[in-house]
Amino acid sequence: MSKEKQVQLRPLRQSERVSVPPIRYGWEEDQVSFALVIEAGDPSSYKEAIDADDIDKWAIAMEQEMMSLEKNQTWDLMNLPKGSKAIGCRWVFRKKDDEQYKARLVAKGY
């Protein structure tokens, strides 16, 4: 007769730690919220940026962002595989000290 090795299974312990986001972010208990903070006067969309009085500065900021993405080889253009969905993107605009215009291209929802 062969002796079988007896395996002792221990119950998995679940952490009792409770994760609470810092109040400085404006989150309350049992509430999940996300917000994009923009300064008053900053465009909240591409359309607002191209309709703004300072369109030339926003256009330069967007061009600089695109050049930076290309220079850093952030992405490659390719055909989307069948059954896949592309991730959307949007522009986020920020004016700093009324002299420096920043435009960032960011992925939506991720």
Query: pLDDT, tens digit, for every residue of 47-89?
Result: 988 888 888 999 999 999 999 998 998 888 889 999 988 888 8
Structure confidence at residue 36 (pLDDT)? 55
- Residue 93 φ/ψ, nearest 5 degrees: -110, 140
pLDDT category, 96, cuts 50, 70, 90?
Answer: confident
- What are the structural domain ranges in the chain? 42-107
pLDDT tens digits along 9-47: 666 566 677 766 666 655 555 555 455 555 667 888 889
pTM: 0.58
103: three-class secondary structure by DSSP: strand
- Give DSSP secondary structure letters for 51-102: HSTTHHHHHHHHHHHHHHHHHTT-----PPPTT--PPPEEEEEEEETTTEEE
Structure confidence at residue 61 (pLDDT)? 93
Separation between Cα atoms, residue 28 and residue 45, nearest integer Å: 28
Contact between 95 and 39 (Cβ < 8 Å): yes
Query: From the DSSP assignment, how many helices (H) and strands (E) are in the chain?
Result: 2, 2
Structure confidence at residue 42 (pLDDT)? 86
